[in-house]
Structure 1
Amino acid sequence: YTVCEVVKEGWTPVTYHANTSNPASNEYCIPVFLDCGETEVDDFENIPPMRISGHEFNRCTGEGIPGWQINLKDNSGNLLETTTTDDAGYYEFSIPLKPGWYTVCEDSIPDGWTSFRDDPNSPAMSLPGASAVPEDCERPKCLVVRLDNCDDSTDNDFENIPEFCIKGIVTTNNTTEVMTSFPVKIENSDGSEVQTVSTNDFGEYSFCGLKDGTYTVCVAELGWTADEPCAIVYLNCEDMEQDFDVYKGRNTWVPGINQPAITLADSRGAIVPGAVEPSAAIELDIGGNEKAGRQPANQEIA
Structure 2
Amino acid sequence: MSARIAITLAWLCAIGAVVFLLSPLLVIAAASFSPTPVFDLPVGGASLRWYARIGALDGFWPALSLSLQLALLSTALSLVLGTLAAIALARGKLPGAQAIATALVSPLMMPGLVLGIALLQYFRAIGFNATWSALLVAHVVVTLPYVARTMIAGMVRFDFTLMEAARTLGCTYAQAIRRVMIPALAPSFLIAGLFSFLASFDNYPVSIFLTDVRTKTLPIKMLQYIDEAPDPTLAALSTLILIATIVLLLASDRLVGLHRMAGTGD
If the length of structure 1 is used for normalisation, what is the TM-score? 0.14
Query: More helix by proportion, 1 or 2?
Result: 2
State the TM-score, normalized to the length of structure 2: 0.15
Higher-Rg member (1/2): 1
